[in-house]
Structure formats: structure tokens, C-alpha cells
Structure 1
Amino acid sequence: MNTLIFDWDGTLANSIDNIVIAMQRAAVDVELPVRSVREVRDIIGLALPDAVAVLYPGLGDPILAERLIQAYADNYLALEQNPSPLFGGVRSALDALRGCGFNLAVATGKGRRGLDRMLGTHGLEDYFDVTRCADETAGKPHPRMIEEILAELDVTPSDACMVGDSEFDILMGHNAGVCSVAVTYGAMTHEQLLRSRPVHCVDSFDEFHGWALPQFRSSQLAGV
């Protein structure tokens, strides 16, 4: 294994609370029923139009859906004036993983503007070899984001791993033919994640780092 593909929200960045609050405030702004914390957490990872369709399946009004999406974006930007931090251990682990030779990539339900803003905020613009966002290709759990990343890196699915905190991340990995690792500290519960059959679950990013390094070393030895 030589390629690690990370989700952003709930995997690298501790942004779950801001996402939930922004969606609940957006519902108030456009006079829709406010969904529970659990309901909002369960759509994190989807592209915004898909998330709205899950939260409000009977909406049937594309103009109202667009108003909700814009209200969410406005509320999220306001909350992110104090940027969501990276999870503990993320920066040092990315340094180490990159230093030992892994290709690093991001596949996120965020839009391109949002991801670029976050990468800039945290000084991570040069950390990732490839990034893909939901507004420039098919959203999760469709495999296209991963397929495009692998094609750009000239990597086979057997050499890659998808890392995420939602069932959409894990299912996208399965659909693309890559192994999938679940992190349990993000949007979805351990029990929810197990239902999507990840190859491994970790409770911290440091734990993932410890799991990934032997995978890289074993793949290097296999190629000798």
C-alpha cells in the first residue's frame, strides 16, 4: 500500500459541530423543520444537494432547496471565522506518512472553495498530491473521486486506502475497489461504521498512523 486517501470533515478536521449547527440554523432561516443532531451527523460526507435530499426527502421545491444550501453555506462560513481545528496528531502524522513515501490525497464532500480555504487556513496546501471535491465530480459513495485520484497518481486500487468517518467514505472505497479504514471519532458511531465493513477501525489519528506504517513497509518488502 502506497496511497492514502482521506476524507476531510470528521477525519482530518474537527468540524462536525459547526456543520450540525450551520444546518440547524439554515433550517430556521428558511422555515423548515430543524433536524436532530444525529440526523445531521448522518448526512455528513454527502454533497450538499444529496444531504438536503436525505434530510428533507419530501421537499419537492428546488428553489427552497437552493435557499437552504445557501443559508447553510452562510452559517457555516460565519462559524468558521474561528476555523475548525485539525484533530490531535493529524499534522505530525501527515508529516511522517509523507516522509516515508506515501502518496496523500483528499476526497471530500466539501466544495472546492471550502476545501481550498481550509487547506490554506491550516497551511496544508502542499501536503496532498491530489484532492477531489464533490462539486467537481460525482459525490460519495460513487467511486469516481477515488478513481480520478488513482488515475492521476497512476496507482492501482490494491495499493490504496480510503480513510473516513462515515459510511459514505467506506462504501466509496468498496465501490472503487480499495481498502477502507474507519475513524470512530467523527460523524458516525462505531456501530454504524461497522455495518459498512471497513477493513479496520481506529479511535484516533495517531492509531491510524501506527496502523498505516507497517502496511507501507510490507508492500515495499513485497516488491523487493
Structure 2
Amino acid sequence: MRKYDLLIFDWDGTLVDSIDRIVQSVWMAAKICNLPQRDESAVKGIIGLAMPQAIKVLYPHLTEQAQIAHFLRVYAEHYLAFEETPSPFYPGVATTLELLRDQGYRLAVATGKTRRGLNLVMGGHGWTDFFDATRCADETASKPDPLMLNEILVQCDVEPAKAIMVGDSIFDLQMAEQAGIDAVAVSYGAQDSDRLQSCRFTLMIDRFEQLAIWLASGKC
């Protein structure tokens, strides 16, 4: 009997190579909104959070709701323009996900993206109906709050012990711990392995295909 029934994935930096587009969109929004530029490391450090929470981290002095709304609007415009050509899957992601689905695993997405953004990129890949469940930050609580994971578990009728979260940020790993589910850390995304080491996880992978190999080995 295998240990997990439900595999839950972050999107940006875990399944698709979109990190540079996010960084560039934040920089463009900061420029247009006359805000100081944050370095690449700082911007990568907020990837995974919902954008309203990310802005609070990058610009804690920004409290006017009109200014925040302007930043969010400009960011979204630039990012969605980039995504007219969908961010590519990382090597091995598409074939591995198809293999896992064929093996009977249920698959879900828990992302800091908006529903509009996720639907756009999933549709661009022809994967609108690929996953059993998806949750976005604008329809639930932002990571690392475990609410979106709890909602996916309820929707899929799966106990926490039978699910695992796969993500590239500390927010993914913290969310999984708070939800009481295991986690796989991804070292090739937004946050490097040194930062991820501060959190609890069961496995760290450097290539997406390693997930399927590990699940098939019975060592999990």
C-alpha cells in the first residue's frame, strides 16, 4: 500500500519556470509607482505569498490602499502580458505529472497566484482540467496559512497523512507543516536550498523527475 494518495503542488518555481517574469513584473510595477527597487534576492524571497502580502514585505511603509491597488494593477498587467506566452514547464514536469496521474495519484495545485492568473496559464498549456483541485491566494488565505491545503483535503476527501505538498519556498513548507502534511522541497525554484533547510521537509529534489522515482521506491 502506497503512503500518499494526493500530491499537491505549488505552481511558480515548482512546476513552471516563471521566476524571472515575476521579478521583472515587480520591478516594472515599482518603477511606475515610484517606489525603490528591491534586489532580485528580496523579490524572490516573497514569491509564494499572495501579492498583497508580498507588497507588505517589500514595502512595509506603503499603507495607502490606493497606492497598493495601483501597484497590484500594474504588476498584474505586466505579468499577464508576459503570460500570453505561458511560462514553460521545468524539464520533466509534464511527463512526470502525466505518469503520476496514470499511476492513480490525485493531483492538486496550491498557489499564491490569483485565479485569473492560474486559469490563464493552465489554459495556455491545455491543462484546464488536468488537476483534481486547485486553490489560489485570492480565494482563500495566503501561504503560509494552511487554509488552502485544508480546503483541498476536504474537496478531495483525503486525510492529511495521505497527502504531500511539493514546493520551492519556505511558505510552501511552513504551510504544509501547519496543515499536518508531509512536504517535498524543490531546490531549483525561487529560494535556494540553504533557505529551505530552515523548514521541515521529508525530501529535497533537484530535478522534478526525482519525485516519481522516490514515490516508486517505497522509501517514502
Deviation at 1:58, TM superposition (A): 1.4
Q: Residue 206 of structure 1: which of 196, 204, 209 is its match?
A: 209
Name the structure 2 match of 1:156. 159
Name the structure 1 match of 2:108. 105
Superposed CA deviations along residues 45-87 of structure 1, whole A, max 9, x for unmatched, are 0001000000001112121111111110011122223321011
Deviation at 1:146, TM superposition (A): 0.6
Q: Secondary structure at the match of 2:184?
A: strand
Name the structure 1 match of 2:54. 51
* Equivalent residues in 2 for 1:1-224, closer than 5 Å: 1-215=4-218
Distance of 2:217 and 2:103 partners within structure 1 = 11
Alignment length, in residue pairs?
217
Structure 1: runs of 5+ lacking an equivalent: 220-224
Distance of 1:212 and 1:121 partners within structure 2 = 29
AA at the equivalent of 1:26: A
Distance of 1:83 and 1:23 partners within structure 2 = 18
Distance of 2:99 and 2:49 partners within structure 1 = 29
Structure 2: runs of 5+ lacking an equivalent: none
Distance of 1:120 and 1:81 partners within structure 2 = 11
- TM-score, length basis structure 1: 0.94
Distance of 1:136 and 1:212 partners within structure 2 = 31
Superposed CA deviations along residues 131-155 of structure 1, whole A, max 9, x for unmatched, are 0000001110000101011011110
Distance of 1:82 and 1:59 partners within structure 2 = 32
AA at the equivalent of 1:23: V
Deviation at 1:199, TM superposition (A): 1.3
- Calculate percent identity across the aligned residue pairs: 48
Distance of 2:213 and 2:144 partners within structure 1 = 27
Deviation at 1:156, TM superposition (A): 0.4
Q: CA RMSD in A?
A: 1.2
AA at the equivalent of 1:136: E
- TM-score, length basis structure 2: 0.96
Q: Secondary structure at the match of 2:197?
A: helix
Tell me whether 25-34 or 53-62 shows the greater mean CA deviation. Answer: 53-62
